[in-house]
Homo-oligomer: A and B are copies of this chain.
Amino acid sequence: MSTYAGEKETRLNLMPWPVKVDLTGGEYRLDQQFTVAIRGDAADRLYHGTSRMLRRLSARTGITFTQDYLVRDSTVRNPVMVIQVDRPGKLVLGEDESYKLQVTASRILLSAKDGIGALRGIETFLQLLEADSSGYYFPAVNIVDHPRFAWRGLMIDASRHFMPVDVIKRNLDAMAAVKLNVLHWHLSDNQGFRVECKKFPKLTEFGSDELFYTQAQIKNVIAYAADRGIRVVPEFDLPAHTTAWFVGYPQYASAAGPYKIERKWGVFDPVFDPTVSKTYTFLNEFFKEMCSIFPDKYIHIGGDENDGKQWNANPRIRKFMKAHKIATNALLQTYFENKLIPIIQRYHKEVVGWDEILAPGLQKTAVIQSWRGIKSLQEAASKGYRVILSNGYYVDHYMPASSCYLVDPSPDSLKLTEAQRQMIIGGEACMWSEFVSPENVDSRIWPRTAAIAERLGSPESVRGVRDMYRRLDGISVELENIGSAYIKNQQMMIRRLADGNHIAALTNLINVIQPVETYERARTRQYASYTPLTRVVDAAVPDPKVARNFCFMVDDFLSDMDPNKDTLEAIRQELSIWKKNDESLEVVAEKSPILKEIEPISKSLSVIASIGLEALDHIENGANVGADWVNSSLAKIDLAAEPAGEVHLTIISPIKKLVERAGGR
């Protein structure tokens, strides 16, 4: 990794890894005399962020600092830490977020062009905290940092399952901790319209099941985000994905109503009628109000997955297309976008849209969000549109962190000129909410999104997967400290599943399984918005840490010419626990019928753990085990890989490797 100054830096738990990190030797020892002062032209935002820094340091160390609350007129004599900024900084795309951090044995200097950069530096500073038996300290270090991409986002879908304000806020805290700077808030879809609109109150009255954000709440969230240097980009998905709008306002749809809130998942037909002026009158009034609530320069207008069926079925619309020489539904949508965009520009905003909006004639000011593949990213950039990548970052899918991590928004393989490459301005993790509730949404977003944040923030050359995982485990502790519920809610769900019985066996199982692929879940049963998301599959997480570490351990063991006995024993110990786990789980499942569906998986775990133990014995004995045993074992493992209850085992591959090694392969 070219960005490491040397081996010694690799112990640090920084994430995203900064541009330049030099450990200079020695450390600053933290005690209650630690003080901090802000110098220069800073906004309230930085005073708040610095006060939170003090509280977070206190929380982790138990130290009560003599300095209590940091306010604008605080005088701090001879401060240990100085935060120096030239200007407050603006919460706009492209604002300078660079900072320099210098820690010495006696002083700490964090300097930044503006307050946004200083907030980023504070997060790095907090990640540096270490401890030994004498107490807490910060290693002496010089850090220089600026993010690679200007748009580093997380999209949260609050429509399919409503996400209360506290869920949004704790995710904003976690975003800030890994230097993400855009919350893309998906606020309307077929399954719910989630923002109070005073001009059109029936949007929420009929389209939300009473689950929506009041404008006061929206403002509160925006202020909370702004305080953390995070922009809020609202999405109102148009012209399709709009069933919830039409429950209260069927007159703007392309087919006659009445409409009901959609309860199922999928692609649905309802779509705005782009051929009548009343649609644009309505949208003008609507966006006028929304643009006054959301201060960011960008509004997301969706534009995805319009199946065109309502347009095909409406003779008046077909006639309109013919009259206006609009050959395809895609072009009719572009007609719609090009009417909509000027409406939004009237209120001094620019639009972002999913890559379907990219059709001939689309205005060049639009930002394209590429979700269907790197091809649409390349196409948008080559045509001169700014573009952000989300393909590969869909965290509602259960891919491991390593997978998102290695997806680069601007890989060498793209056929783009340097100028075209500059049009790639970042990326966004996307949290679609078909299969998440406020309870488990955190465990789908975190910690994996920290890996995406590093991809978007760190130099391209930072790509070591093992080191990423090491640091991910480090940042995970702080993510939880500042409020992310991804561990604690999983444990709560496990306790509920066990219904007051012992949780050890269920925990052991959940540590080595993950949900089947998202689309596979949708095929397995008919899901609806009221389907409980409290089963084992909902408590299971993608890329579970125990299983991942087991995989690494097996790789280490097998790649070592002279295998380490400790590693072997550690592997054996895990396998022994898993082998006998089913017996304990059976006892719990007898009293918790909700667990019945994963009994086959529990038995499979026992089977492959036994095989793994046999393989270890063979490897240790160095005996020739014979192809029969290998083949029958691999066949059993393949059977064990079958999902049940929408989960599958994630330790299939390392067990196979052990069997193959035992067979001398």
| A contact set with B: CB distance below 8 Å | 54-55, 58-64, 68-69, 131-136, 164-166, 209, 214, 216-217, 220, 263, 473-474, 476-477, 480-481, 485, 487-489, 491-492, 495-496, 499-500, 528, 530-532, 534-535, 590-594, 597
- CB A199 to nearest CB in B, in angstroms, measures 19
- Most central of A54, A214, A480, A593 by chain B CB within 10 Å: A593
Q: Which residues of B contact A488 (CB under 8 A)?
A: 485, 488-489, 491-492
The reply to whether B530 and A60 form a contact with Cβ atoms under 8 Å apart is no
Among B54, B60, B165, B531, which residue has its beta carbon within 8 angstroms of that of A594?
B60
Nearest-CB residue, chain B, relative to A534: B59
With A488-B488, A488-B492 already in contact, the answer to whether A60 and B134 are too (CB < 8 A) is no
Q: In the bound complex, how far is the Cα of B59 from the Cα of A49, in angstroms?
A: 38
The reply to whether B500 and A495 form a contact with Cβ atoms under 8 Å apart is no
Q: In the bound complex, how far is the Cα of B491 from the Cα of A593, in angstroms?
A: 26
The reply to whether B61 and A594 form a contact with Cβ atoms under 8 Å apart is yes
The reply to whether A477 and B491 form a contact with Cβ atoms under 8 Å apart is no
The reply to whether A592 and B131 form a contact with Cβ atoms under 8 Å apart is yes
Q: A62-B534, A68-B263, A69-B209 are known; give 13 further A-B pairs, CB within 8 A.
A: A55-B530, A59-B532, A61-B594, A62-B532, A62-B594, A63-B532, A64-B528, A131-B591, A132-B591, A165-B165, A165-B166, A477-B499, A487-B492
Nearest-CB residue, chain B, relative to A533: B59
Q: Which residues of B contact A496 (CB under 8 A)?
A: 59-60, 477, 480-481
- CB A482 to nearest CB in B, in angstroms, measures 10
9 tightest A-B contacts by CB?
Answer: A166-B166, A488-B488, A58-B532, A62-B594, A216-B216, A59-B534, A477-B500, A64-B531, A135-B593
Nearest-CB residue, chain B, relative to A67: B530
Q: Which residues of B contact A209 (CB under 8 A)?
A: 69
Nearest-CB residue, chain B, relative to A489: B488
- CB A52 to nearest CB in B, in angstroms, measures 12
Q: In the bound complex, how far is the Cα of B69 from the Cα of A531, in angstroms?
A: 11
Q: In the bound complex, how far is the Cα of B485 from the Cα of A592, in angstroms?
A: 22
- CB A458 to nearest CB in B, in angstroms, measures 22
Nearest-CB residue, chain B, relative to A48: B210
The reply to whether B499 and A60 form a contact with Cβ atoms under 8 Å apart is yes
Q: In the bound complex, how far is the Cα of B59 from the Cα of A87, in angstroms?
A: 51
Nearest-CB residue, chain B, relative to A498: B477
- CB A124 to nearest CB in B, in angstroms, measures 18
- CB A290 to nearest CB in B, in angstroms, measures 19
The reply to whether B591 and A530 form a contact with Cβ atoms under 8 Å apart is no
Q: Which residues of B contact A214 (CB under 8 A)?
A: 216, 220
Nearest-CB residue, chain B, relative to A532: B58
Q: Which residues of B contact A263 (CB under 8 A)?
A: 68
- CB A54 to nearest CB in B, in angstroms, measures 8
With A69-B209, A528-B68, A534-B62 already in contact, the answer to whether A590 and B499 are too (CB < 8 A) is no
The reply to whether B590 and A133 form a contact with Cβ atoms under 8 Å apart is yes
Q: In the bound complex, how far is the Cα of B616 from the Cα of A348, in angstroms?
A: 80
The reply to whether B535 and A62 form a contact with Cβ atoms under 8 Å apart is yes
Q: Which residues of B contact A593 (CB under 8 A)?
A: 61, 131-136
Q: In the bound complex, how far is the Cα of B495 from the Cα of A476, in angstroms?
A: 11
Nearest-CB residue, chain B, relative to A62: B594
Nearest-CB residue, chain B, relative to A137: B593
Q: In the bound complex, how far is the Cα of B530 from the Cα of A496, in angstroms?
A: 35
Nearest-CB residue, chain B, relative to A592: B131
Q: Which residues of B contact A481 (CB under 8 A)?
A: 496
Q: In the bound complex, how far is the Cα of B500 from the Cα of A54, in angstroms?
A: 21
- Most central of A528, A590, A594 by chain B CB within 10 Å: A594
